[in-house]
Chains A and B, each alone.
Chain A
């Protein structure tokens, strides 16, 4: 297993366009998390899944954001009608149900909205 993979690594898009990011977690992990990180800040929780079920979605997340994990394996995060304020690093992580070993993070997808 090569760890958590995120694709693409970088994305530049024009304001108003839709973008989709993909995350492939460690195959044995049943939990998958999405975070957003802006410059100078810590990662901000967005949403997480246990297998294919989305357990929680941050209240800070607008309706333009949607995430799926259709078969309990990979996950996608879609942002519709992107705004400049969406520019950030989007981080994916996975873990076992009990995270005593912590989360394993991917390298992130850096989104720039111009």
Chain B
């Protein structure tokens, strides 16, 4: 989707390092979703953010929503090989509970 831009497109980090993935919308966000996908498999729901300034955590993954900037960031602390995969942000931009996705960020963890 061109409405959602993710950066970076791919990321290679050393195990144990922290990392951040960004998602920026060109339209107002009515809900921001983060998913993880293993190569060739379905998507796994991580978390959903709805209110400006909201922050949620799932294990070592934290996501924040900056409503004014129409942006969200996903931060992984002390990365592990199990964190490798594709991280997708999705958003409800038409206020109809339909999620539009970005192109994803491919994360590789080096042992």
Instruction: Give A contacts to B, CB under 8 Å.
Output: 4, 31, 33, 35, 40-45, 48, 55-56, 89, 91, 93, 95, 97-108, 110
Contacts and interface: CB of A to CB of B under 8 A. Distances in A.
Residue in B48, B50, B97 whose Cβ sees the most chain A Cβ within 10 Å:
B97
Interface string B29-55: 001010100001111110110100000
A107 B45 contact: no
Contacts of B41: 107-108
Interface residues of B, number: 26
B99 A107 contact: no
Interface of B: 1, 4, 31, 33, 35, 40-45, 47-48, 50, 88, 90, 92, 96-104
Given A31-B97, A107-B42, A42 B48 contact: no
